[in-house]
Amino acid sequence: MFYFTLMICFVAAILLTPIVKKIAFKIGATDKPEQRKVHQGIMPRLGGLSIYLSFIIGVMIIHPSESFHIPILIGSFVIIITGMIDDIKDISAKYKLAGQIIAAFIVVIWGDMKVEFINLPFGGDLDFGPLSIPLTMLWIIGVTNAINLIDGLDGLAAGVSSIALLTIAGMAVVMGNTYVVLIALIVAVSSLGFLFYNFYPAKIFMGDVGSQFLGYIIGVLSLLGFKNITFISLIIPIIILGVPISDTFFAIIRRLINKQPISAPDKSHLHHCLLRSGFTHRQAVLLIYGMSIIFGLAAFIFSQATVWGSLIVIAVLLLVIELFVEQVGLVREDYKPLLNLIKGIKPLNLKSKG
């Protein structure tokens, strides 16, 4: 029955997307080309609505009974309404944030999903106390915006989100968390169905309604799958979401360095940097897909490693991320401390040999 449900969700997304496309044009939910965008013509957005509707069809069929399921549905509905208004009216960042805060508050308080403590790797635990609610909400809001920020190329957010959801589902299978497996796979196949129209060259964009919904669901599911166990389990969702989190983190660093507001848009995100480096639109998307898969595999390795092995995995990932960031100019074109250090070591080695 479950596999049949997944097939229905996949087909539903394919069938609903053209209908949503017509609605988007009719109500003016379109994206016009501008200096910061990479597309040339007027494009319909609101495509994420087909992902959401397919998800709703799926949960109506399987009908989960967990206590936190209804809060998740209500929170996701708040996110959908916020995203739809933004896709139609282009509301300011503060109103989008308000919608995200309400959605996160619903699932954290009503669904009782707050992260209250973590067990530290070398003994003892860290109790968050009264900070557990704001920290949990911050995670959900942060992931929501991280997915929203990478939605800059055709098929990018849908593909990266699908990879993250499949990874979360795989980890949930190992941990025996049936609910997370069900919801993650339903949203993943709905996103893959939408990709039929969203992959390059896209016929419709998912819009904020899609990227915020996917980010919200990923943020919530990662909490359900990995909360309140160990420090190691807290790191797993961060690794799974390595691409959008890294892009968001370095976007914040970049804007602080350039003395710009953190919410200020720019054209220096990961996908922009890859395009400037000479990659085609399709190549840039596929490369980021590959990076997401590598992060997913790293999360599996990390989860099975010893404490010291986990620390080595983190160190290697951080080193690789830093080198890549410097190579593509994600922070700034002249930001290359590690690459300059490596270049400086080579001549020294040659001189010492001479």
228 among the known binding-site residues? Answer: no
Q: 123 exposed, middle or buried (CB, 10 Å; 0-12, 13-18, 19+)?
A: exposed
Own/partner long-range contacts of 247-255 (Cβ < 8 Å, ≥24 apart): 247/146, 247/149, 247/150, 247/330, 248/142, 248/145, 248/146, 248/149, 250/325, 250/330, 250/331, 251/149, 253/331, 254/330, 254/331, 254/332
Cβ neighbors of 286 (< 8 A, separation 6 or more) are none
Extract the tokens encoding 54: 């397919």
Rounded CA-CA distance 179/282 in Å is 34
Rounded Cα distance, 299 and 235, in Å: 9
| 258 belongs to an annotated ligand binding site | no
Angle at CA of residue 148, ends 263 and 100, nearest 5°: 75
Annotated binding site: 148, 208
Annotated binding site for Mg(2+): 148, 208
